[in-house]
Chain A
Amino acid sequence: MIVLEWLFLTIAACDAAEPWQLGFQDAATPMMQGIIDLHHDIFFFLILILVFVLWILVRALWHFHYQKNPIPQRIVHGTTIEILWTIFPSIILMFIAIPSFALLYSMDEVVVDPAITIKAIGHQWYWTYEYSDYNSSDEQSLTFDSYMIPEDDLELGQLRLLEVDNRVVVPAKTHLRIIVTSADVLHSWAVPSLGVKCDAVPGRLNQISILVQREGVYYGQCSEICGTNHAFMPIVVEAVSRKDYGSWVSNQLIPQTGEA
């Protein structure tokens, strides 16, 4: 490990937006991995078609000369080629559609019962998280607000416009149900690494199922315009081991039982 660090070969996952980033953030759920794989599959055919079309286009432009070669095309009919250039794109579309539908329908499958339900409630301009599985009465035992840390209060190494004071702590390798709603206007709970973007609609409970496959800290931002501080209500999900999650929940619940 030390040798790897010295050789600059340690691997740190990209779970937050990077400056000048071009590609996806690293996947932490099977859904996001499926999205990335589909993107790679489609991109392959996209490059094939792009190169082919550009080649023909540039070639036609190159050979056109208003005196020597005003009509660059020499063939005007050809039933065979016309059939071919109809069938061939349909085949390409089929190769694109198969993994696309596979991913789409696998996303809809809800085959497992979740172990935890977490409610994400959007406000102007912060998120509230409720972990109500541990309530013994209608009173909320584990609920907290999550505000962005202002730029002036950031410590060295923290991410601007992405850090929050209270993170959403979840256990890794556990099926989660996240219920997203809003208390005032439309918001959207989005975390790119987890492949999640779900609108928060007032009066409606939207359910998403995620399985975070590795421990880590994942950043996202509100993704539906909600007023003047829409850009300043980020989301941070911290996935920890199940044991650490249990200790965290116990520590959060203790003050409540102490008061009672």
Chain B
Amino acid sequence: MGGRRVFVGYSVLINFKIRQGKISAIHRLSSFAGSVMAGEIALKTAPADFRFPTTNQTRHCFTRYIEFHRCLAAKGESNECERFAKYYRSLCPGEWVERWNEQRKNGIFPGPL
């Protein structure tokens, strides 16, 4: 990892870039293989959504929940809506989902369903 030389700053920068390159190369290989498997379990989850690029994913979870219910209202119980269901279940804590389901049942859900 370079000796104690004055230009250590540049070697570290290059190292970071190489490390990033290595990491994305490893990912490219696994994503070409399809979904990652761990025994019988498929490792799939909600993908990163570029509408919510920051650390705070509260709106991401809320938006997925609303998208699922709007899809249900528009298309009924279809397989396409199941995708959104998987996403919000992965992202949202169970307590939040239960609370929102209660609110929907009582007609007081604070969202554009």
Contacts and interface: CB of A to CB of B under 8 A. Distances in A.
A179 B94 contact: no
A41 B56 contact: no
9 contacts: A99-B8, A110-B48, A111-B24, A242-B37, A243-B38, A245-B38, A246-B38, A246-B39, A249-B41
A158 interface: no
Interface string B77-113: 0000000001001111111011001000000000000
Interface in B18-61: 19-20, 23-24, 26-27, 31, 36-41, 43-48, 53, 55-58, 60-61
Q: Interface residues of A: mostly helix, strand, loop or mixed?
A: mixed
Contacts of B90: 117, 132-133
Contacts, number: 141
Nearest to B54: A207
A171 to B, nearest CB: 6
Given A112-B27, A115-B43, A206-B55, A106 B16 contact: yes
Given A133-B89, A243-B39, 18 more contacts: A30-B23, A41-B12, A111-B20, A115-B45, A133-B90, A140-B94, A171-B38, A174-B43, A177-B48, A179-B91, A204-B56, A205-B58, A205-B60, A242-B43, A243-B38, A246-B38, A246-B41, A250-B39
Contact of A112 (B1, B23, B39): B23
